[in-house]
Structure 1
Amino acid sequence: MVGESTESITEKRISNSPHWQNMDSQEIRRLYDQGELSHLLPCGDKQQDKVGFTKPAAPPTCTKIINVITCGSNLTGFTYSAAKRRATETKGDRPETSCRVSHADLTAVAFDKEDIHDSQEHHDVLIITLAMANCTVRKVLVDIASSVNLIMLKTIENMGFSEKDLQKKTIPLVGFSGETANSLREIVIPTYTGGFNKQVKYLVIDGPSTYNVILGRPWLHLMKAVPSTYHQCVKFPTPWGVETI
């Protein structure tokens, strides 16, 4: 058997087994690639790892780096010079961090098969319902790509807020294709989630939208929340355990 490949040796052993004689070569090859025939491989020539799967392929060789220029955020500014200036100004003013760690900080957030409510394949975005200022607000999009929290002007009006509740703040918002729109106002709304009533800042925009509210990274980081579009839920740690929306 000198010079024979592992595949040919495996096929010979399969052909001599009554259980596999009626199986065609393509099916045998498929089982071989999946590692289900590792028990028939010659000793020392097993290519599969301990769990029966083939080893992952090596990454391709990258010959070029593709960069992108993006705008900033309402924390660091919306230009490179503004972000650089803020970093310089706050470098020596950062308070000393405490070594005290809360119970919530030590709580692990994980997803498992019990969080899957629909076994069908989907590509749905993550939409939740929130209690905001004594109103139940539906069609709230959780968007990790957004650097701000947004609320529609029509939603503000339906919730009963008046002009005096809004603060004038115009910030350019850049869309996926580079188009720019300006926010009209800013508002702070108490937002209740999982036992916490947080004062959350939203930028108000006017225009047609499928959603009432878009929760971006500011809210996710405030709650230390971890969203999963696959599991269609958001989880975040609390002193009394992990809450799920």
Structure 2
Amino acid sequence: MPVLGEVHTIAGGFSGGGHTASQRKKYARGVNSIEERISGNQWESDLVFTRVDLQDVVPHDNDPVVISVVTAGRKVHKVLVDQGSSADVMFWSTFNKLRLSPDLLRPYTGCLYGFADNQVELRHYLELRSTFSDGAASRTENIRYLVVNANSTYNILLGRPALNRLNAVASTRHMKMKLLDLSGTVIVIKSDQEEARKCYENSLKTKRGVFMVFERPPSADTAMEVEVEPLNEATPTVRATPEADTHAEERQDAP
């Protein structure tokens, strides 16, 4: 059967050691080395899902796990738990809604792969203390979010780096994410199924995201400038093609 194309998950970011070759090599050496794991680690407690976790779940057709997170002093809804993403992503619109200072943004020179089947060049990331709670117990960790200027029905994508840092386990069948607080108590965060369905339906209606990528050749005297601008949805993005250039030349030569 012929292969017509490929569909990728989001790859890149800080997963796999980092965005530089030296960081990735160091990570590979650590993965390939044999280490004895410390027994009795509190984070190695069993996180299991049982039939009890299904009691409050509305029957669904593969709903995504969508939760809320408290960060920068505000509760952020529409946070997609995306185990297929190698990066924790915050969208530029969310950054603006949180009223964060641009001074918090740090330069990032790596790329993400998999957004709309394109390579997305990034310029910024920021680190925020984010709290995950079920109302009875909570856990707060520093999460590094890559800032992406793209249209999305979600505010944040919570990828493998954050899930591994939290030692969290998510189940789409049970519509929950579980993790431990610092005392070893299990935190059970329920997915907002109504919100999840709205996000999914809106994502089908939303036009394909447009990425504002600013490319400036590096200078020996000055460092590359860093910019992030909000999208202007009313202005379509037009990309020149070789055919368009040829037609333009013919019109110029015509009497």
Structure 2-normalised TM-score?
Answer: 0.59
Show the counterpart of 1:169: 108
Which whole-Å CA distance do the structure 1 matches of 2:98 and 2:88 have between them? Answer: 17
Show the counterpart of 2:46: 108
SS at match of 2:17: coil
Show the counterpart of 1:85: 25
Which whole-Å CA distance do the structure 2 matches of 1:129 and 1:229 have between them? Answer: 16
Show the counterpart of 1:212: 155
Structure 2 residue aligned with 1:130, among 69, 90, 99?
69
Show the counterpart of 1:153: 92
Please say if residues 149 and 219 of structure 1, whose CA atoms lie closer than 8 Å, have aligned partners that are also in contact: yes
Structure 2 residue aligned with 1:143, among 82, 85, 92?
82
Please say if residues 72 and 83 of structure 1, whose CA atoms lie closer than 8 Å, have aligned partners that are also in contact: no
Q: 1:176 to 1:242 in 2, by over 3 A?
A: same
Give the gaps of 5 or more residues in structure 2.
1-6, 190-255
Q: 1:119 to 1:208 in 2, by over 3 A?
A: closer
Give the gaps of 5 or more residues in structure 1.
1-67
SS at match of 1:175: strand
Percent same amino acid at aligned positions? 26
- TM-superposed CA distance for 1:168, in Å, is 1.3
- TM-superposed CA distance for 1:229, in Å, is 1.0
1:21-40 equivalences under 5 Å are none
- TM-superposed CA distance for 1:170, in Å, is 3.0
Structure 1 residue aligned with 2:124, among 179, 185, 192?
185
Please say if residues 79 and 158 of structure 2, whose CA atoms lie closer than 8 Å, have aligned partners that are also in contact: yes
Q: Which amino acid aligns with 2:187?
A: E
Please say if residues 188 and 202 of structure 1, whose CA atoms lie closer than 8 Å, have aligned partners that are also in contact: yes
1:244 lines up with 2:188 in the alignment: yes
Structure with greater contact order relative to length (CA < 8 Å, sep ≥ 6): 2
Show the counterpart of 2:144: 201
1:225 lines up with 2:164 in the alignment: no
- TM-superposed CA distance for 1:87, in Å, is 4.9
Q: 1:203 to 1:230 in 2, by over 3 A?
A: same
Q: 1:232 to 1:165 in 2, by over 3 A?
A: same
State how many pairs are aligned.
Answer: 176
Higher gyration radius (CA): 1
RMSD of aligned residue pairs (Cα, Å): 3.2
- TM-superposed CA distance for 1:161, in Å, is 0.8
Please say if residues 106 and 124 of structure 2, whose CA atoms lie closer than 8 Å, have aligned partners that are also in contact: yes
Please say if residues 88 and 161 of structure 2, whose CA atoms lie closer than 8 Å, have aligned partners that are also in contact: yes
